[in-house]
Amino acid sequence: MASKICSLKVKYTLIKIFTISSFLCLSLNNSYAGGDAGTYAPTLTYWGNSARTLGMAGAFSGVADDASAGYYNPAGLVQLNTQELTMMHSIVFAGTGASMEMLTYGRPTSATSGFAATIMHFYVGGMDQVGVGGGATFSDREVAVLLTYSMRFVGPVWIGLNGKVYSHQMSAMNGLGYGADLGLFAFPEKTVSFGLAVQNAWKPKIKLVEEAFEFPVTTRFGLSLKAFRGLIMCGELVWPEYRSPTFGFGMEYRPIQMFYLRGGINSGALAAGVGLWHDMKRFEVRLDYAWMLPYQTSGMYGAGHNISLNLAFGGYRAKALCPTVAFSPTSPSEGKNVVWIYFDINPRTKVEKWQVLIKDEAGTVVRKIGAWGEPPYRVSWDGKDDNALIVPDGRYYYQLTVIEQGGRKWGYEGFLSAMYTVGPAGTVVIKSKGESPDYIQEERRQKSSVPGKQRGKTYKR
């Protein structure tokens, strides 16, 4: 009799923790839509593994262009050019004690395939234990490991597979399950791209006491539009098994190279985020923050705060570097009258065409440098436009474009150099009206490289 009562208490506690866990996660993304209840193990279906994706309200299966694609759509890893390492910490809801940590590593394994590994850790502590006196509490811990592989299927269509291991520890009980996801991605290089992911296609099952809990099959369909340079808009449909489909929308805008703005909304949360990017030459670093307000909880839970750090290095790339801060096209010193642009290009396939555009501060193109075939190690600019005329003094920028065989395009831009012209040094002094012309004095200094020659003269009139 005692064991039966204990079993009933444990089952009641299980139901309670599953409800808490589901509500904490699902209410941020498609929870309780149309009166539907939550589902088990939502961390594998309704969350995310970077602050960038959460800042877009999780509408990412149609974008999937970084290492976090392994979570949203495994087929999207085809777009990963560099190795990426992403670390994230989340305060799921302020004041609940629920937190989440993520670690993701992704890399391109060949010109037509990619690999990623993700570790997720979800924790809720300090919950009252049902049926036990003395203020006893327990904790809930969920850990998942995802291994992702993607490859070209046919033409502009790519496929991906996620294998995952899920562990659930609640108080003294433990459960372990295995599963898999499938993904499809189409037209990754076009203005419009499509993503389709079937999460838990092979359903993991967790048994903590007597009954085994099965993960629901969840279908994600995403559509992304690269509206214009720096702006991505994306829509997402999420359809879990036994529940009604829900929708979400997200966007990302990059007004300048180092800054991102993000926002989104779904049936459970309103999201906003920012990102800072910096090129450290050998690697790139991006710091992202996402704020998520669970508006459907009617103020029951506070906003979520998510911060992640992304490092990108190695892999395929097309970059340029100009170490010269300033130069003068009229300088008599050889080497100081031109500016050099050094290339760091490692494409997936052979280069078909390359081009460098030199722009002024207003964005006007003053010079085009380029050719068909493989690019050289470096190119120089002499401060002249396409008509061989010296351009005005000021700050100039470059934009590198590399096109591979097959049409894949690479782009990179940055500060080139400040340019100034060198003329004869001197001063002109003009006295007030009525004074003798002898007081008008012009001084010119002429430099000479001949040893012993007088370096300057003063002329008087």
Are 248 and 360 in a shared domain?
Answer: no
Residues of 184-215 as b/e, b for ≥16 C-beta within 10 angstroms?
bbbebeeeebbbbbbbbbeebebebeeeebbb
Q: What is the pLDDT of residue 426?
A: 47
Residue after which a domain boundary falls, among 313, 348, 371: 313
Are 179 and 309 in a shared domain?
Answer: yes
Are 178 and 36 in a shared domain?
Answer: yes
Number of folded domains that form the chain: 3
Residue after which a domain boundary falls, among 264, 295, 313: 313
Q: What is the pLDDT of residue 451?
A: 42
Contact 380, 341 (CB under 8 A): yes
Cα-to-chain-centroid distance, residue 165: 26
For 14, the 3-state DSSP assignment is helix
Predicted model pTM: 0.76
Are 300 and 414 in a shared domain?
Answer: no
- For 18, the enclosing helix (H) or strand (E) is helix 2-26
CA dist., res. 170 & res. 165, Å (int): 17
**Backbone torsions φ then ψ of 190, nearest 5 degrees:** -95, 175
Q: What is the pLDDT of residue 170?
A: 79
Are 263 and 142 in a shared domain?
Answer: yes
Are 270 and 343 in a shared domain?
Answer: no
Q: Hey, what amino acid is at 65?
A: D
Place of tokens 């600019």: 381
Are 322 and 224 in a shared domain?
Answer: no
Cβ partners under 8 Å of residue 60, min gap 6:
48, 53, 68, 69, 72, 73, 222, 234, 236, 250
The string of DSSP codes covering 52-78 is HHHHTTT--TTT--STTHHHH-GGGGG
CA dist., res. 18 & res. 21, Å (int): 5
CA dist., res. 93 & res. 103, Å (int): 20
Angle CA(355)–CA(360)–CA(361) in degrees, nearest 5? 130
Residue after which a domain boundary falls, among 259, 289, 313: 313
Are 12 and 101 in a shared domain?
Answer: yes
Are 245 and 383 in a shared domain?
Answer: no
Are 100 and 149 in a shared domain?
Answer: yes
Q: What is the pLDDT of residue 6?
A: 43
Domain that includes residue 436, residue range? 425-460
pLDDT 10s digit of each residue in the chain, 461 long?
444 434 444 444 444 444 444 444 444 444 433 334 445 566 666 678 899 999 999 999 999 999 999 899 999 998 888 999 999 999 887 777 788 899 999 999 988 899 999 999 988 876 666 555 556 676 788 899 999 999 999 988 999 999 999 998 877 788 899 999 999 999 887 889 999 999 999 998 888 777 788 888 999 999 999 987 789 999 999 998 888 898 999 999 999 889 999 999 998 889 999 999 998 878 899 999 999 988 876 667 788 899 999 999 988 888 898 988 888 888 877 778 899 999 999 888 899 999 999 999 999 999 999 999 999 999 999 999 999 999 999 999 999 999 988 778 888 888 898 988 865 544 444 555 555 554 434 433 344 443 444 333 333 33
Q: What pairs with residue 417 in β-bridges? A: 396
Angle CA(51)–CA(52)–CA(54) in degrees, nearest 5? 60
Q: What is the pLDDT of residue 296?
A: 74
CATH number at residue 73: 2.40.160.60
Cβ partners under 8 Å of residue 81, min gap 6:
108, 315, 316, 317, 348
Are 19 and 153 in a shared domain?
Answer: yes
Cβ partners under 8 Å of residue 176, min gap 6:
165, 166, 167, 168, 206
CA dist., res. 141 & res. 36, Å (int): 25
Q: What is the pLDDT of residue 280?
A: 85
Backbone angle region of 155, left / alpha / beta, with phi > 0 → left and psi within -120 to 50 → alpha: left
Q: What is the pLDDT of residue 207?
A: 82
CA dist., res. 281 & res. 285, Å (int): 10
Are 395 and 249 in a shared domain?
Answer: no
Q: What is the pLDDT of residue 70?
A: 86
